[in-house]
Chain A
Amino acid sequence: MTVPNIALAAALVAGVATAQTDWPTFGHDLAGSRYSPLKQIDAKNVTKLVRAWTYHMSLSATPTPAAGSSEAGDAVEGGRGRGGRAGRGGRGGGGNSEVTPLAIGGVMYLTTGGGRVVALEPETAKEIWTYDVKDGAPATRGLEYWVGDRQSPATLFFGTTRGKLYALNAKTGKPIPGFGNEGIVDMKPGALNGLTNSSFGLSSPPIVYKNLVITGAHVQEAPSIGAAGDTRAWDVHTGKLVWAFHSVPRPGEVGADTWKGDDWKNRSGTNVWGLFTIDAENGILYMPFGEPTTDYWGGDRPGKNLFGTSLVAVDAVTGKLKWYFQVVHHDTWDYDLCAPPVLFDVTLKGKKIPAVGELTKSGYVYILNRLTGEPIYGVEERKVPVDDALPGDQAWPTQPIPQKPPALARTSFKREDIATVTPELNKFCTELFDSVPGGLHAVGQFTHYSTTPSVIFPSSIGGGNWNPPSFDPGLGYLFVNTMDFGSLNVMVKSEDGGRYSRMGYNGNNRFWEPESNMPCNQPPWGRLFAIKVNTGEIAWQSTLGITESLPPDKQNTGRPNIGGSLATAGGLVFIGATDDSRFRAFDSKTGRELWVTKIDAGAHAAPMTFQGKDGKQYVVITATGGGFLGDRSRADTVIAFALP
């Protein structure tokens, strides 16, 4: 087999001792490129793809064999997916999953929505072993593989909704006795700030670097006081805590002056619930932090509130701060950073600059020098509205807006932007907008959630979301997906009268017609972009997804989407993410949609690819519907495609 130079370069960046035909970590490599050198499936033959297998996460065993067609039947409306709901009480929901499976050394590993971790034969989805997680549900976005050493066997690390960190023997599926307490570390005690009733878990996979397994935190949105969102590193052999990075700086630490008095104390949120990446060569860990509690009112936290909604780089071995870049000052929009910061090189005026690209809910990609945190294409501190802030909240007067690339999602709304897609939608949305004297509250980019019903673009779920981008090193294109989607909310006083709490308006909290799920803004409603990282310009963009209920000539609206992409040396970008229950392939160079197939449910996950022992390239996507897009489809499937 010929391995192109690009692949070799990617392998070096990744620093993972596995074959390039594998998918060894969430983002394919530690740099989060989600780029595979495999090219058996290419722009010429992608239309011939067929379903190779379907794995049902709620059942024990019995993958469905290929049906000979790539078309799946519609999920039955009102059905709960095959196997129904797993037992509640912490056992995980009805198959809901955002997992990217891993494929290493001829075995596939994943966490399931059914509360298990499984090892599969990757060519058939036949179960090799299964592990039933009894104490909470395993993280919905998956797990991390560590190759092992003389002291420890190859290990799978994953967190649970109850704050346990597990180490399983990758070969046997049994807990590793020497790690923590019989294979389990309780991450809660060190995070709870002495409180007992706080929620703490992991929803994303940890990341391994040298002898450390590094974990984020899935903590509350409210109330203000709760578990810390610190990032922590644990010894891969013993599970002993090695370092902790205080996500809310304590007195004397960098950033402490962005908090007043004791406001920092026991502050929750400010957590990496999304995905880490690592510059293996330079030993730097990149952490996308979410905003501090509470999400929509910051009256009890005046200041910039570091490291809320900031990208932070630390020494991966020590946890010591290298630099930070705050994307939203004093965030009251729930614009958590959560997408994996993708690492790549930018060639500018003949000079190579090591860079990191972060997709944001606020609708941008920030391209920074990954050694210094300096913006490569400039960032302007732009004046934003302050007069509409809630009583008691001190809005920050400016926000950092990248000069390039431009906004990748709608960032404001005016009455003339109301959708004219159908007369009915136009009528509904116009009446909705006019239902408040003077219209819904919308005063431009960074409009505040107000006591007047407000329309906020991008919505609290983006713009971008945790959507893992992909990067084609040959083209120098970064592929990102976003939605042009708004929130519709009104702020009301909390029970004790001291705070404000976010409510829906008219039984609805998105700016759309909630039965047809058609947004009230003019399309596009969801897009896929290729960003030329060497110029900061958009190379191409395409709508992503269709509105099936519209007449054929009007369907190409793009759809709300959460999930990510995969780029391959076959010149393809694979992506699900949309709420139209489809999986697609685009031409990397041109953005032309080359292939689309109906799948069992919306795939709010990010795909992966690997080469099987049979020499075939497989592309795999998890599709369970549900989630935050009001997606009514439901299934419990992981689906593999290959050429016949």
Chain B
Amino acid sequence: MEPKLHFGCLLIAAAAVAAGQNKSAQLPEGKGRDAVKTICTPCHEIGSVIGVRRTRIGWERNVDDMVSRGAEGSDEDLQAVIDYLATNFGKINVNTAAAKDLQTSLGMTEREAQAIVAYRQQNGKIKDFEQLKQVPGTDLEKLLAKRPQIAFSL
């Protein structure tokens, strides 16, 4: 049987982290933080901006969408917004990420990351979380803990 209770606890932990980070709806320090404040918060609560994780492409598209709805900033500032959000509120596509990025973003060992790269080279695109769990050489607990940060497309 799957570690249901455990998974539940992890979800709570993850939520607590997300909520904790933003208990006062604060943005973590980092390059681009001011640009996010200047460009996004004239229209939205910061919570509605960072409440969702997206891949880098996802953030790029989201920012494009916001620009078509009136977000204003120089190309440089908008790029800073994308970089900041992708770094701090990102998701990583296990089908396209380099092994190195899987290590840094998902806390995998080099071996685990290589196992994913080898698997997708051999079997093609990993469809969903269920399939990811079947990849030999990965750590299920780690994957479950990082699930909100794992993407399979874009």
B14 CB within 8 Å of chain A: yes
Number of A-B contacts (CB under 8 A): 177
Task: Tell me, rounded to whole Å, the shortest Cβ–Cβ distance linking B150 to chain A.
Answer: 8
Instruction: Flag whether A184 is at the interface (Cβ < 8 A).
Output: no
A96 within 8 A of B: yes
The answer to whether B44 touches A221, judged by C-beta atoms less than 8 angstroms apart, is yes
Q: Does A90 lie within 8 Å of B45, measured CB to CB?
A: no
Residues of chain A with a CB closer than 8 A to B74's CB: 88-89
Tell me whether A503 and B51 are in contact (CB under 8 A).
yes
When the two chains form their complex, are residues A89 and B45 in contact, meaning their CB atoms are under 8 A apart?
Answer: no
Does A140 sit within 8 A of B, measured CB to CB? yes
| Complex interface bits, A471-502 against B, C-beta within 8 A gives 1, otherwise 0 | 00000000000000000011011111100011
Contact A501 B64 (CB under 8 A): no
Which parts of A86-106 form the interface with B (CB within 8 Å)? Answer: 87-94, 96-97
Residues of B within 8 A of A489 (CB): 51
Tell me what chain A mostly uses at the interface: helix, strand, loop, or mixed: loop
Question: Is A614 in the interface zone, CB < 8 Å from B?
Answer: no
Q: Is B154's CB under 8 angstroms from A220's CB?
A: no
**A456 → B minimal CB distance (Å):** 14
Knowing A90-B67, A94-B61, say if A515 contacts B47 (CB, 8 Å). no
Q: Is A432 at the interface (CB under 8 A from chain B)?
A: yes
CB distance from A418 to the nearest CB of B (A): 14
Q: A2 at the A/B interface (Cβ < 8 Å)? A: no
Q: How distant is the Cα of A294 from the Cα of B45 in the complex, in angstroms?
A: 8
Known contacts: A96-B64, A161-B68. The answer to whether A515 contacts B45 by CB under 8 A is no
> Residue B65 contacts which of A162, A295, A509, A626 (CB distance < 8 angstroms)?
A626
**Within the complex, which residue of A93, A96, A431, A516 is in contact with B11, where a contact is CB–CB below 8 Å?**
A431
Whether, in the assembled complex, A32 has its beta carbon less than 8 Å from a beta carbon of chain B, the answer is: no
Other-chain contact of A424, B4, B69, B130, B150 (Cβ < 8 Å) = B130
Which 7 pairs show the lowest CB-CB distances between chains A and B? A504-B51, A507-B53, A93-B64, A93-B68, A507-B148, A435-B11, A161-B70
28 A–B contact pairs at CB < 8 A? A78-B96, A88-B74, A89-B72, A90-B67, A93-B64, A94-B61, A96-B65, A137-B68, A137-B70, A199-B42, A221-B43, A222-B41, A222-B44, A223-B41, A226-B42, A424-B130, A431-B8, A434-B8, A435-B8, A492-B25, A493-B24, A495-B24, A503-B25, A504-B52, A506-B14, A506-B15, A507-B18, A508-B53
**New A-B contacts (4) at CB < 8 Å, excluding given A198-B42, A490-B19, A632-B153:** A88-B78, A89-B74, A218-B70, A220-B44
Give A residues with C-beta under 8 Å from B: 77-78, 80, 85, 87-94, 96-97, 113, 136-137, 140, 161-162, 197-199, 201, 203, 218, 220-223, 226, 294-296, 424, 427-428, 431-432, 434-436, 453, 489-490, 492-497, 501-509, 515-516, 626-627, 632, 634
